Amino acid sequence: MKGFADVEGRVGCADEAAIGGSESKVDFARCPEGLCLDDILSSPLYRGRDELLGFRMLAHVTRAIAAGLAVLSTALPGAAREIAITLDDLPYVMPSRTSPSEGLEQVRAVNEALAAHRVEATGFAVGSQIGWRSRRAVAAFAEAGHTVGNHSWSHPDYGTLTPDQFREETQRTDEALSRWIGESRFYRFPFLREGETEEAKAAADQVLADLGYVNVPVTIDTDDWRYNADYLDALDRDDEVTAAEIAEAYLAHIRERTLHFESLAEDAIGGEVPHILLLHMNRINADHLSEMLDWYVAEGWTFVSVEEAMRDPFYAMPDLYAGPRGLSQVERVMGRPSE
Ligand SMILES: [Zn+2]
Protein backbone atom coordinates (compact mmCIF):
# COMPACT_ATOMS: atom_id res chain seq x y z
CA MET A 1 0.00 0.00 0.00
CA LYS A 2 1.62 3.19 -1.19
CA GLY A 3 0.44 5.32 1.70
CA PHE A 4 2.24 3.18 4.25
CA ALA A 5 5.71 3.63 2.78
CA ASP A 6 5.18 7.36 2.53
CA VAL A 7 3.85 7.65 6.02
CA GLU A 8 6.57 5.54 7.59
CA GLY A 9 9.27 7.46 5.79
CA ARG A 10 7.97 10.82 6.94
CA VAL A 11 6.31 10.02 10.17
CA GLY A 12 5.67 12.93 12.48
CA CYS A 13 5.12 16.51 11.48
CA ALA A 14 8.61 17.38 10.34
CA ASP A 15 9.22 20.70 8.76
CA GLU A 16 12.39 21.10 6.78
CA ALA A 17 11.06 23.36 4.06
CA ALA A 18 12.62 26.70 3.29
CA ILE A 19 11.43 29.82 5.04
CA GLY A 20 8.69 31.63 3.18
CA GLY A 21 5.88 34.01 3.91
CA SER A 22 5.22 37.68 4.16
CA GLU A 23 5.92 40.36 6.73
CA SER A 24 2.36 41.62 6.97
CA LYS A 25 1.02 42.70 10.35
CA VAL A 26 -2.23 42.38 12.23
CA ASP A 27 -4.04 45.19 13.97
CA PHE A 28 -3.84 43.66 17.44
CA ALA A 29 -5.54 46.62 19.07
CA ARG A 30 -8.88 45.51 17.59
CA CYS A 31 -11.41 44.58 20.27
CA PRO A 32 -12.91 41.08 20.42
CA GLU A 33 -16.07 40.74 18.30
CA GLY A 34 -15.33 44.14 16.74
CA LEU A 35 -16.87 45.95 19.73
CA CYS A 36 -14.65 48.83 20.89
CA LEU A 37 -15.28 50.92 23.98
CA ASP A 38 -14.07 54.10 22.27
CA ASP A 39 -16.53 53.58 19.43
CA ILE A 40 -19.37 53.24 21.89
CA LEU A 41 -18.41 56.24 24.01
CA SER A 42 -18.09 58.45 20.93
CA SER A 43 -21.48 57.33 19.63
CA PRO A 44 -24.20 60.04 19.57
CA LEU A 45 -26.53 57.47 21.14
CA TYR A 46 -24.43 57.37 24.28
CA ARG A 47 -24.93 61.10 24.78
CA GLY A 48 -28.68 60.89 24.11
CA ARG A 49 -31.33 61.45 26.78
CA ASP A 50 -33.57 58.55 25.90
CA GLU A 51 -33.59 56.30 28.94
CA LEU A 52 -34.13 53.07 27.03
CA LEU A 53 -31.28 53.79 24.68
CA GLY A 54 -29.19 54.69 27.70
CA PHE A 55 -29.84 51.29 29.24
CA ARG A 56 -29.07 49.56 26.00
CA MET A 57 -25.81 51.43 25.67
CA LEU A 58 -24.98 50.69 29.28
CA ALA A 59 -25.37 46.99 28.51
CA HIS A 60 -23.05 47.35 25.50
CA VAL A 61 -20.48 49.25 27.53
CA THR A 62 -20.63 46.65 30.32
CA ARG A 63 -20.05 43.90 27.80
CA ALA A 64 -17.17 45.81 26.23
CA ILE A 65 -15.56 46.42 29.64
CA ALA A 66 -16.00 42.74 30.56
CA ALA A 67 -14.36 41.70 27.27
CA GLY A 68 -11.53 44.19 27.89
CA LEU A 69 -11.00 42.88 31.42
CA ALA A 70 -10.95 39.30 30.13
CA VAL A 71 -8.19 40.22 27.69
CA LEU A 72 -6.34 42.20 30.37
CA SER A 73 -6.56 39.42 32.97
CA THR A 74 -4.78 37.00 30.66
CA ALA A 75 -1.90 39.44 30.33
CA LEU A 76 -1.32 39.85 34.06
CA PRO A 77 1.54 37.96 35.70
CA GLY A 78 0.26 34.84 37.40
CA ALA A 79 -2.84 34.70 35.21
CA ALA A 80 -4.18 31.23 34.42
CA ARG A 81 -2.16 29.60 31.69
CA GLU A 82 -4.23 27.13 29.72
CA ILE A 83 -3.11 24.35 27.43
CA ALA A 84 -4.85 21.71 25.34
CA ILE A 85 -2.98 18.46 24.65
CA THR A 86 -3.14 16.98 21.15
CA LEU A 87 -1.52 13.80 19.84
CA ASP A 88 -1.05 13.25 16.12
CA ASP A 89 -0.62 10.09 14.08
CA LEU A 90 -3.03 7.72 15.80
CA PRO A 91 -3.21 4.73 16.04
CA TYR A 92 0.58 5.08 16.74
CA VAL A 93 3.66 6.27 14.89
CA MET A 94 6.21 4.07 13.14
CA PRO A 95 4.07 0.98 12.50
CA SER A 96 7.17 -0.57 10.90
CA ARG A 97 8.87 -0.57 14.32
CA THR A 98 5.82 -1.02 16.50
CA SER A 99 3.61 -4.10 16.70
CA PRO A 100 -0.15 -3.63 17.18
CA SER A 101 0.15 -4.89 20.77
CA GLU A 102 3.02 -2.47 21.50
CA GLY A 103 0.96 0.30 19.91
CA LEU A 104 -2.00 -0.53 22.11
CA GLU A 105 0.29 -0.54 25.17
CA GLN A 106 1.54 2.92 24.23
CA VAL A 107 -1.99 4.27 23.95
CA ARG A 108 -2.88 2.76 27.32
CA ALA A 109 0.19 4.36 28.94
CA VAL A 110 -0.68 7.73 27.40
CA ASN A 111 -4.28 7.32 28.60
CA GLU A 112 -3.02 6.61 32.10
CA ALA A 113 -0.85 9.76 32.17
CA LEU A 114 -3.74 11.85 30.83
CA ALA A 115 -6.20 10.40 33.37
CA ALA A 116 -3.79 11.03 36.26
CA HIS A 117 -3.75 14.72 35.30
CA ARG A 118 -7.44 14.88 34.39
CA VAL A 119 -6.65 15.81 30.80
CA GLU A 120 -9.21 15.47 28.04
CA ALA A 121 -7.01 15.19 24.95
CA THR A 122 -7.60 15.13 21.22
CA GLY A 123 -5.84 12.65 18.93
CA PHE A 124 -5.65 12.83 15.13
CA ALA A 125 -5.72 9.58 13.18
CA VAL A 126 -4.19 8.69 9.82
CA GLY A 127 -6.85 6.63 8.03
CA SER A 128 -4.53 4.32 6.06
CA GLN A 129 -2.86 3.17 9.29
CA ILE A 130 -6.04 1.89 10.87
CA GLY A 131 -5.95 -1.84 10.26
CA TRP A 132 -8.03 -4.59 11.83
CA ARG A 133 -5.47 -4.98 14.65
CA SER A 134 -4.24 -1.39 15.08
CA ARG A 135 -7.83 -0.10 15.32
CA ARG A 136 -7.87 -1.33 18.92
CA ALA A 137 -5.44 1.48 19.76
CA VAL A 138 -7.82 4.12 18.34
CA ALA A 139 -10.72 2.48 20.18
CA ALA A 140 -8.79 2.49 23.47
CA PHE A 141 -8.04 6.21 23.10
CA ALA A 142 -11.69 7.04 22.31
CA GLU A 143 -13.06 4.80 25.06
CA ALA A 144 -10.88 6.63 27.59
CA GLY A 145 -12.99 9.73 26.83
CA HIS A 146 -10.65 11.49 24.42
CA THR A 147 -11.64 13.04 21.12
CA VAL A 148 -10.59 11.45 17.83
CA GLY A 149 -9.98 13.73 14.85
CA ASN A 150 -9.06 13.35 11.19
CA HIS A 151 -5.40 13.62 10.09
CA SER A 152 -5.83 12.64 6.39
CA TRP A 153 -5.73 9.22 4.75
CA SER A 154 -2.04 8.91 3.77
CA HIS A 155 -0.36 11.80 5.63
CA PRO A 156 0.49 13.82 2.50
CA ASP A 157 1.86 17.34 2.35
CA TYR A 158 -1.23 19.38 1.38
CA GLY A 159 1.00 21.38 -0.97
CA THR A 160 1.25 18.30 -3.21
CA LEU A 161 -2.53 17.74 -3.48
CA THR A 162 -5.28 19.10 -5.68
CA PRO A 163 -8.44 20.21 -3.83
CA ASP A 164 -10.18 17.05 -5.11
CA GLN A 165 -7.42 14.84 -3.75
CA PHE A 166 -7.60 16.69 -0.43
CA ARG A 167 -11.36 16.09 -0.32
CA GLU A 168 -10.89 12.39 -1.07
CA GLU A 169 -8.16 12.02 1.60
CA THR A 170 -10.34 13.71 4.21
CA GLN A 171 -13.56 11.93 3.29
CA ARG A 172 -11.99 8.48 3.20
CA THR A 173 -10.63 8.91 6.72
CA ASP A 174 -13.93 10.39 7.85
CA GLU A 175 -15.58 7.12 6.84
CA ALA A 176 -12.86 5.05 8.54
CA LEU A 177 -13.35 7.01 11.76
CA SER A 178 -17.15 7.16 11.66
CA ARG A 179 -17.62 5.16 14.86
CA TRP A 180 -15.29 7.45 16.82
CA ILE A 181 -15.91 10.92 15.44
CA GLY A 182 -18.80 12.47 17.32
CA GLU A 183 -20.08 16.02 17.48
CA SER A 184 -16.55 17.44 17.50
CA ARG A 185 -15.29 17.14 13.95
CA PHE A 186 -11.67 18.16 14.09
CA TYR A 187 -9.04 18.13 11.37
CA ARG A 188 -5.28 18.53 11.63
CA PHE A 189 -3.10 19.13 8.57
CA PRO A 190 -0.15 16.69 8.20
CA PHE A 191 3.12 18.56 8.79
CA LEU A 192 0.92 21.57 9.76
CA ARG A 193 1.11 22.62 6.09
CA GLU A 194 -2.10 24.40 5.23
CA GLY A 195 -1.42 25.69 1.71
CA GLU A 196 1.26 27.55 -0.17
CA THR A 197 -1.03 30.20 -1.67
CA GLU A 198 -4.13 32.03 -0.49
CA GLU A 199 -6.08 30.13 -3.17
CA ALA A 200 -4.87 26.76 -1.89
CA LYS A 201 -5.72 27.74 1.70
CA ALA A 202 -9.19 28.85 0.65
CA ALA A 203 -9.74 25.59 -1.29
CA ALA A 204 -8.85 23.54 1.81
CA ASP A 205 -11.08 25.71 4.00
CA GLN A 206 -13.95 25.06 1.61
CA VAL A 207 -13.43 21.28 1.65
CA LEU A 208 -13.26 21.21 5.46
CA ALA A 209 -16.37 23.39 5.71
CA ASP A 210 -18.24 21.15 3.25
CA LEU A 211 -17.36 18.09 5.34
CA GLY A 212 -18.20 19.84 8.61
CA TYR A 213 -14.64 19.89 9.94
CA VAL A 214 -12.89 22.50 12.06
CA ASN A 215 -9.15 22.90 11.48
CA VAL A 216 -7.31 22.54 14.78
CA PRO A 217 -4.02 24.43 14.64
CA VAL A 218 -1.08 24.11 17.00
CA THR A 219 0.44 26.97 18.95
CA ILE A 220 3.30 25.02 20.58
CA ASP A 221 5.07 23.17 17.79
CA THR A 222 7.54 20.51 18.95
CA ASP A 223 9.97 17.96 17.54
CA ASP A 224 8.93 15.01 19.71
CA TRP A 225 9.08 12.76 16.63
CA ARG A 226 12.83 13.39 16.34
CA TYR A 227 13.51 12.53 19.99
CA ASN A 228 11.28 9.49 19.69
CA ALA A 229 13.34 8.05 16.80
CA ASP A 230 16.60 8.36 18.80
CA TYR A 231 14.87 7.00 21.89
CA LEU A 232 13.69 3.91 20.01
CA ASP A 233 17.23 3.35 18.64
CA ALA A 234 18.63 3.45 22.19
CA LEU A 235 15.97 1.07 23.47
CA ASP A 236 16.65 -1.32 20.57
CA ARG A 237 20.30 -1.41 21.69
CA ASP A 238 19.20 -1.97 25.30
CA ASP A 239 21.09 1.24 26.05
CA GLU A 240 18.97 2.50 28.93
CA VAL A 241 21.47 5.18 29.95
CA THR A 242 21.28 6.88 26.57
CA ALA A 243 17.49 6.40 26.46
CA ALA A 244 17.22 8.20 29.82
CA GLU A 245 19.45 11.04 28.56
CA ILE A 246 17.32 11.42 25.45
CA ALA A 247 14.19 11.51 27.60
CA GLU A 248 15.70 14.30 29.75
CA ALA A 249 16.67 16.25 26.64
CA TYR A 250 13.18 15.72 25.26
CA LEU A 251 11.47 17.12 28.35
CA ALA A 252 13.84 20.11 28.28
CA HIS A 253 12.92 20.61 24.61
CA ILE A 254 9.20 20.67 25.47
CA ARG A 255 9.85 23.23 28.23
CA GLU A 256 11.91 25.39 25.86
CA ARG A 257 9.29 25.20 23.08
CA THR A 258 6.53 26.08 25.52
CA LEU A 259 8.36 29.15 26.81
CA HIS A 260 9.30 30.20 23.26
CA PHE A 261 5.74 30.12 21.93
CA GLU A 262 4.26 31.54 25.10
CA SER A 263 6.58 34.53 24.90
CA LEU A 264 5.99 34.84 21.13
CA ALA A 265 2.22 34.98 21.71
CA GLU A 266 2.66 37.62 24.41
CA ASP A 267 4.80 39.76 22.09
CA ALA A 268 2.45 39.28 19.16
CA ILE A 269 -0.91 39.88 20.76
CA GLY A 270 -0.02 41.46 24.09
CA GLY A 271 -1.37 38.69 26.29
CA GLU A 272 -1.67 35.01 27.03
CA VAL A 273 -3.65 32.75 24.74
CA PRO A 274 -4.91 29.26 25.55
CA HIS A 275 -2.23 27.14 23.90
CA ILE A 276 -2.50 23.92 21.89
CA LEU A 277 0.46 21.55 22.23
CA LEU A 278 1.53 19.24 19.41
CA LEU A 279 2.66 15.76 20.44
CA HIS A 280 2.55 12.39 18.72
CA MET A 281 1.26 9.00 19.80
CA ASN A 282 4.69 7.47 20.27
CA ARG A 283 6.86 5.57 22.69
CA ILE A 284 8.67 8.52 24.26
CA ASN A 285 5.33 10.07 25.20
CA ALA A 286 4.01 6.73 26.45
CA ASP A 287 7.01 6.59 28.79
CA HIS A 288 7.39 10.28 29.74
CA LEU A 289 4.10 12.15 29.22
CA SER A 290 3.30 11.96 32.90
CA GLU A 291 6.52 13.79 33.86
CA MET A 292 5.82 16.39 31.20
CA LEU A 293 2.31 17.01 32.53
CA ASP A 294 3.74 17.28 36.07
CA TRP A 295 5.91 20.15 34.86
CA TYR A 296 2.94 22.00 33.36
CA VAL A 297 1.06 21.64 36.64
CA ALA A 298 4.09 22.85 38.64
CA GLU A 299 4.34 25.89 36.36
CA GLY A 300 0.72 26.81 36.99
CA TRP A 301 -0.82 25.63 33.73
CA THR A 302 -4.30 24.17 33.64
CA PHE A 303 -5.42 21.66 31.06
CA VAL A 304 -8.34 22.44 28.81
CA SER A 305 -9.94 20.66 25.87
CA VAL A 306 -9.42 21.80 22.29
CA GLU A 307 -13.03 23.07 22.29
CA GLU A 308 -12.37 25.22 25.34
CA ALA A 309 -9.08 26.58 24.00
CA MET A 310 -10.54 27.47 20.61
CA ARG A 311 -13.34 29.55 22.14
CA ASP A 312 -10.69 32.22 22.68
CA PRO A 313 -10.93 35.06 20.10
CA PHE A 314 -7.27 34.40 19.24
CA TYR A 315 -8.37 31.38 17.20
CA ALA A 316 -10.64 33.57 15.09
CA MET A 317 -7.77 35.88 14.11
CA PRO A 318 -6.80 35.66 10.44
CA ASP A 319 -3.97 33.39 9.27
CA LEU A 320 -1.66 35.77 7.39
CA TYR A 321 0.83 33.15 6.24
CA ALA A 322 0.68 31.30 2.93
CA GLY A 323 3.74 29.21 2.15
CA PRO A 324 5.44 25.84 2.38
CA ARG A 325 6.19 25.85 6.11
CA GLY A 326 4.17 24.06 8.78
CA LEU A 327 3.80 26.75 11.43
CA SER A 328 2.41 27.49 14.86
CA GLN A 329 -0.84 29.45 14.77
CA VAL A 330 0.97 32.24 16.63
CA GLU A 331 3.33 32.53 13.66
CA ARG A 332 0.40 32.33 11.25
CA VAL A 333 -1.31 35.24 12.99
CA MET A 334 1.99 37.14 12.84
CA GLY A 335 2.29 36.26 9.15
CA ARG A 336 5.80 34.83 9.37
CA PRO A 337 7.93 32.06 10.92
CA SER A 338 9.59 33.01 14.21
CA GLU A 339 12.82 31.16 13.52
ZN1 LIG B 1 1.18 13.76 11.51
CATH of domain 80-334: 3.20.20.370
pLDDT tens, position by position, 21-31: 332 332 323 33
Residue 283 pLDDT > 90, yes or no?
yes
Whether omega before 91 lies within 30 degrees of 0, making that bond cis, reads yes
Task: Grade residue 74 by pLDDT with cuts at 50, 70 and 90.
Answer: very low
CA of 279 to the centre of ligand 1 (A): 9
Which residues lie closer than 8 Å to 51 by C-beta, 6 or more apart?
none
CA of 46 to the centre of ligand 1 (A): 52
Does residue 43 or residue 76 have the better pLDDT?
A: 76
CA distances from 226 to 8, 232, 282 (A): 13, 10, 11
Average pLDDT rounded to a whole number, residues 292-299: 98
pLDDT tens, position by position, 101-130: 999 999 999 999 999 999 999 999 999 999
CA of 286 to the centre of ligand 1 (A): 17
Residues of the chain with CATH 3.20.20.370: 80-334
Res 15: pLDDT: 34
Q: How far apart are CA 145 and CA 322, in angstroms?
A: 35
- Which among 144, 145, 150 has a CA at the least distance from the CA of 185? 150
CA of 94 to the centre of ligand 1 (A): 11
CA of 66 to the centre of ligand 1 (A): 39
Q: What is the pTM of this model?
A: 0.78
CA of 173 to the centre of ligand 1 (A): 14
pLDDT tens, position by position, 139-171: 999 999 999 999 999 999 999 999 999 999 999
Say if residues 222 and 282 touch (Cβ distance below 8 Å). no
Res 24: pLDDT: 30
- Which among 196, 156, 146 has a CA at the least distance from the CA of 6? 156
CA of 78 to the centre of ligand 1 (A): 33
Res 39: pLDDT: 34
Query: Using only C-alpha atoms, what is the Rg of the chain?
Result: 22
CA of 191 to the centre of ligand 1 (A): 6
Q: How far apart are CA 159 and CA 128, in angstroms?
A: 19
- Which among 119, 84, 21, 82 has a CA at the least distance from the CA of 271? 82
- In terms of Cβ atoms closer than 10 Å to its own Cβ (0-12, 13-18, 19+), residue 169 is buried
Q: How far apart are CA 87 and CA 219, in angstroms?
A: 13
Say if residues 92 and 106 touch (Cβ distance below 8 Å). yes
CA angle 86/88/90 to nearest 5° reads 120
Q: How far apart are CA 242 and CA 282, in angstroms?
A: 18
- Which among 330, 266, 329, 275 has a CA at the least distance from the CA of 304? 275
Q: How far apart are CA 172 and CA 177, in angstroms?
A: 9
- In terms of Cβ atoms closer than 10 Å to its own Cβ (0-12, 13-18, 19+), residue 181 is buried
